[in-house]
């Protein structure tokens, strides 16, 4: 089901359409995901891991599985008919019914700071609220300062119930959802 296009901002940015992804989007999603990961992880993880065809195939299988799940939502953000962002969420196995986990949110690195991530985030939050979700969770790579700043701007905070191990590479974040917390 398409979500309403985002209104252009004062800088006259083009409208962003956020819609449900389909199996036909798989290759575009995988390409976008790989480019985004390579951009923000390069220098933090071995290049061989980022450029390995087997790693790409592993992510392709993961996205295909996510698109096929009836309990998952995968959204694509489009500008001018091109997919420029993707998000994926679902209730984590064993989690309370009113809790969801944001597993992926990626924007084409050439389009960072264009409002695409915010449009995807708003669509996720709207979907969560419509489903009666009261708590959203995610984990973010500790060194990905860009992502951490993005989530902070959108109201996410460190999850006090989950204390990372001293050698943890990821930070657990939580977003309490209430009618007044619309972002």
| Banded model confidence at residue 145, pLDDT cuts 50, 70, 90 | confident
Tokens representing residue 23 in the block: 């199996």
Strands 82-90 and 72-79: antiparallel
Cα separation, 159 vs 174, whole angstroms: 5
Bridge partners (DSSP) listed for residue 175: 136
Cα separation, 16 vs 143, whole angstroms: 28
Cα separation, 97 vs 64, whole angstroms: 24
Which residues neighbour 42 within 8 Å (Cβ) at sequence distance 6 or greater?
50
Cα separation, 16 vs 64, whole angstroms: 24
Average pLDDT over residues 69-86: 95
Given this model, what pLDDT does residue 141 score? 82
180 phi-psi bin (left φ>0, alpha ψ -120 to 50, beta other): alpha
Which residues neighbour 110 within 8 Å (Cβ) at sequence distance 6 or greater?
none
Portion of the chain with pLDDT greater than 70, in percent: 81
Cα separation, 70 vs 88, whole angstroms: 12
132 phi-psi bin (left φ>0, alpha ψ -120 to 50, beta other): left
pTM for this prediction: 0.83
Q: Lowest mean pLDDT: which of 24-38, 41-55, 123-137?
A: 41-55
Question: Any idea of the CA torsion for 59, 64, 66, 71, to the nearest 10 degrees?
Answer: -170
Given this model, what pLDDT does residue 1 score? 44
Q: Lowest mean pLDDT: which of 54-58, 74-78, 163-167?
A: 163-167
H/E stretch holding 174: strand 170-176
Cα separation, 21 vs 75, whole angstroms: 5
């Amino acid at each position: 089901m398409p979500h309403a296009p985002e209104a252009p901002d004062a800088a006259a940015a083009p409208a962003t359409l956020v819609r449900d992804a389909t199996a036909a989007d798989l290759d575009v999603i995988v390409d976008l995901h790989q480019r985004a990961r390579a951009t923000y992880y390069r220098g933090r993880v071995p290049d061989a891991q980022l450029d390995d065809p087997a790693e790409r195939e592993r992510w392709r299988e993961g996205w295909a599985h996510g698109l096929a799940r009836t309990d998952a939502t995968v959204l694509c953000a489009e500008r001018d008919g091109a997919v420029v962002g993707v998000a994926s969420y679902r209730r984590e196995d064993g989690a309370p019914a009113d809790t969801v986990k944001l597993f992926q949110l990626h924007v084409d690195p050439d389009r960072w700071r264009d409002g695409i991530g915010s449009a995807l985030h708003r669509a996720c939050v709207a979907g969560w609220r419509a489903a009666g979700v009261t708590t959203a969770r995610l984990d973010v790579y500790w060194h990905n300062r860009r992502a951490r700043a993005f989530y902070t701007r959108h109201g996410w905070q460190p999850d006090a119930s989950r204390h990372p191990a001293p050698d943890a590479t990821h930070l657990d974040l939580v977003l309490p959802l209430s009618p007044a917390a619309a972002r």
